[in-house]
């Protein structure tokens, strides 16, 4: 396989580990934990894995030479650093005992159920160290939730003499990891399950998880591109650029990119929901800024739009809720109908209020909302062209204002969607180190007999030496939420907090950014050079840690 010059040099990078993981390791246990909400329900559903203590690793005098084979699964969307979790896991598993083996299940959780796997060896891992992507073993979105899947998985686990499975995934995948851990514990199968916090979306975080891996690299990649667009925009001074940014629900990615690049406008879905704004309110806000800048002779600008926006506009959110319930109850009759019949079916079954909202949406958007949920029941928002929908509505509003004599200017729009191009970028130094440490922590949790835990690394705004590694019981992050029409135990998603420092920092400056041109050009991720450039963390993380 031919590899790039960067890949060749980068393969030699040795990720840095927290002090506690550099040699022999022992475990310090904290107090018993509680779930974030619905404690009685969660306790009842997870009697074997509820209430366990937080765990922190400390340097020890003598090594634990645990004999253990481990299986690893990459689950859900790609995030930069996944290969380094595997590298950290592999190195630690072999450090514990060179006879230990690591198996990678192929193409996501489905690989466990279908018994598709490879053994990960020093040789085949070498080409993937410090690289982006999940292509070493592939990923998938199969939802592990049924007993027959757990039992099928057990067959291969037994055959390969695997002691534990590590699931590298987002909130949904880690919820499933917890269900699997509980099932194997209840059956006393002696198989442990450990999770690792992955997702570029940045929404798997809480008091214990400072950030999910991949967020750092993905937002730096998007910010580089946004900065380049801003410079182009400020050079030609003739376009308004509408940039949709990935991040299924939460607006963390958009907010972080705004903090890095200072665009003229950045929409934050959580704020729009809190203020109960309509699509028209959003359009009037953007058109107002366009008109203001036009009056100053500036017929250009940059607008950032989080991809999850549509679900957070309250009227559309209510419509989606009802559609979810409708599809959960009648999905089978509905799915076999043709396109027109499906629209008719929906219009006949929706309540009057939601029917009215559905009818006002462009047909393509309405169709996307009523179709194609992913296996976890999510609307596939990355397929909805929100950036075009909004810019077209802004153009119409400006035409109307022109006729009314309220606006004078030229409006020409360009559209971009930054999503997939950030998910497999070569991990930044932060993600390379963070992921390697997460993999090492996962191995230590297994060696110390833990199950139903997620590997964690904290104090990440300090130098890597001072990072603190350990584990958090997954049940601690859970609450009950409605999914596909039923109440289910799930990890609570972290949305942008409107009283948090990152949002407040953005909100304090956005009027200035809208009126003036304050663009910042972050440039590409640097892997070597001054530490102030190549080891910087995200602004979100810094602002959250200094609150």
* Residue list, annotated binding site for Mg(2+): 171
Q: Which of 220, 248, 458, 539 touches ligand FBP (CB under 6 A)?
A: 248
Q: Which of 201, 224, 322, 385 touches ligand FBP (CB under 6 A)?
A: 201
Residue 487 to residue 43: CA distance in whole angstroms: 15
Q: How far is the CB of 105 from ligand FBP (least distance, A)?
A: 16
Indicate whether 269 belongs to the interface with ligand FBP (CB under 6 A).
no
Pick the closer one to ligand FBP by CB: 253 or 259.
Answer: 253
Q: How far is the CB of 200 from ligand FBP (least distance, A)?
A: 6
Work out whether strand 486-491 and strand 478-483 pair parallel, antiparallel, or are unpaired: antiparallel
Using CB under 6 A as the binding criterion, the count of chain residues that bind ligand FBP stands at: 14
Which residues are within 8 A (CB) of 417 and not within 5 positions of it... i.e. 6 or more apart? 243, 244, 246, 307, 382, 385, 387
Indicate whether 200 belongs to the interface with ligand FBP (CB under 6 A).
yes
Q: How many degrees, rounded to 5, is the angle at CA 11 between CA 10 and CA 17?
A: 90
Residue 429, classed as helix, strand or coil, is helix
Binding positions for substrate: 199-201, 238-239, 246-248, 307, 420-423
Pick the closer one to ligand FBP by CB: 201 or 256.
Answer: 201
Sheet with 240-245: list strands edge to edge: 265-266, 301-306, 240-245, 413-418
Q: Which stretch binds ligand FBP (CB under 6 A): 94-102, 242-250, 285-293, 320-328?
A: 242-250
Q: How far is the CB of 202 from ligand FBP (least distance, A)?
A: 10
Task: Copy the structure tokens of residue 282.
Answer: 């959003």
Q: Which stretch binds ligand FBP (CB under 6 A): 60-68, 92-100, 154-162, 197-205?
A: 197-205
Find, among 466, 442, 475, 443, the residue nearest to 456 by Cα. 442
Indicate whether 170 belongs to the interface with ligand FBP (CB under 6 A).
yes
Task: Copy the structure tokens of residue 458.
Answer: 């904290």
Pick the closer one to ligand FBP by CB: 160 or 371.
Answer: 371
Indicate whether 153 belongs to the interface with ligand FBP (CB under 6 A).
no
Indicate whether 365 belongs to the interface with ligand FBP (CB under 6 A).
no
Tell me the backbone φ, ψ of residue 424, rounded to 5 degrees.
-125, 15
Indicate whether 197 belongs to the interface with ligand FBP (CB under 6 A).
no
3-class SS shares of the chain: helix, strand, coil, % to 5: 45, 15, 35
Catalytic residue among 201, 203, 216, 431: 201
Residue 486 to residue 380: CA distance in whole angstroms: 20
Q: Which stretch binds ligand FBP (CB under 6 A): 90-98, 240-248, 448-456, 522-530?
A: 240-248
Indicate whether 427 belongs to the interface with ligand FBP (CB under 6 A).
no
Is 232 an active-site residue?
Answer: no
**What is the DSSP code string of 198-247?**
B-TT--S--SS----BTHHHHHHHHHHHHHHHHHHHHHH---EEEEEE--
Task: Copy the structure tokens of residue 298.
Answer: 């500036």
Q: Which stretch binds ligand FBP (CB under 6 A): 76-84, 158-166, 408-416, 522-530?
A: 76-84
Alpha carbon distances (Å) from 14 to 10, 150, 462: 9, 36, 19
Binding site for ligand FBP (CB under 6 A): 76-77, 79, 170, 199-201, 246-248, 307, 381-382, 423
Catalytically active residues are 201
């Amino acid at each position: 396989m031919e590899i790039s010059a960067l890949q060749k040099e980068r393969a030699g990078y040795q990720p840095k580990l927290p002090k506690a993981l550099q040699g022999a390791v022992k475990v310090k246990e904290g107090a018993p934990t509680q779930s974030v909400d619905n404690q009685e329900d969660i306790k009842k559903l997870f009697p074997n894995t509820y209430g366990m203590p937080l765990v922190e690793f400390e340097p020890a005098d003598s090594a634990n030479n645990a004999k253990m084979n481990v299986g690893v699964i990459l689950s859900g969307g790609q995030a930069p650093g996944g290969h380094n979790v595997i590298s950290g896991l592999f190195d630690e598993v072999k450090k514990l005992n060179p006879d230990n083996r690591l198996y990678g299940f192929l193409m996501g959780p489905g690989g466990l159920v279908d018994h598709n796997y490879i053994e990960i060896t020093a040789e085949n891992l070498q080409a993937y160290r410090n690289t982006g992507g999940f292509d070493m073993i592939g990923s998938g979105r199969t939802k592990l939730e049924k007993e027959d899947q757990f039992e099928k998985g057990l067959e291969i686990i037994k055959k390969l003499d695997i002691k534990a499975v590590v699931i590298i995934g987002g909130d949904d995948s880690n919820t499933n990891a917890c269900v699997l851990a509980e099932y194997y514990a209840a059956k006393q199968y002696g198989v442990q399950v450990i999770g690792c916090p992955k997702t570029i979306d940045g929404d798997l975080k809480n008091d214990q998880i400072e950030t999910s891996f991949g967020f750092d690299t993905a937002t730096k990649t998007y910010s580089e591109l946004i900065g380049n667009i801003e410079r182009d925009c400020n050079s030609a001074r003739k376009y308004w650029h509408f940039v949709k940014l990935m991040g299924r629900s939460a607006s963390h990615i958009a907010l972080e990119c705004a903090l890095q690049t200072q665009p003229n406008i950045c929409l934050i879905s959580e704020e729009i929901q809190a203020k109960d704004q309509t699509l028209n309110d959003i359009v009037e806000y953007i058109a107002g800024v366009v008109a203001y800048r036009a009056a100053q002779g500036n017929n250009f600008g940059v607008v950032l739009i989080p991809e999850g926006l549509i679900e957070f506009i309250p009227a559309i959110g209510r419509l989606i809720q009802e559609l979810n319930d409708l599809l959960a109850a009648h999905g089978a009759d509905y799915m076999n109908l043709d396109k027109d019949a499906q629209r008719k079916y929906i219009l006949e079954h929706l309540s009057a209020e939601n029917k009215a909202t559905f009818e006002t949406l462009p047909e393509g958007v309405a169709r996307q909302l009523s179709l194609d949920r992913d296996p976890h029941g999510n609307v596939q928002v990355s397929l909805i062209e929100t950036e075009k929908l909004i810019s077209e509505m802004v153009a119409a509003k400006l035409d109307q204002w022109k006729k009314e004599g309220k606006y004078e200017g030229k409006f020409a729009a360009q559209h971009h969607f930054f999503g997939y191009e950030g998910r497999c970028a070569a991990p930044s130094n932060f993600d390379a180190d963070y992921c390697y440490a997460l993999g090492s922590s996962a191995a230590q949790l297994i060696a110390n007999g833990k199950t139903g835990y997620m590997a964690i690394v904290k104090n990440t705004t300090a130098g890597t030496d001072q990072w603190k590694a350990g584990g958090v019981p997954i049940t601690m992050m859970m609450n009950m939420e409605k999914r596909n029409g039923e109440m289910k135990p799930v990890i609570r998603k972290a949305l942008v907090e409107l009283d948090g420092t990152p949002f407040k920092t953005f909100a304090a400056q956005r009027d200035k950014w809208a009126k003036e041109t304050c663009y910042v050009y972050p440039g590409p991720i640097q892997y070597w050079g001054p530490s102030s450039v190549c080891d910087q963390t995200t602004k979100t993380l810094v602002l959250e840690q200094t609150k």
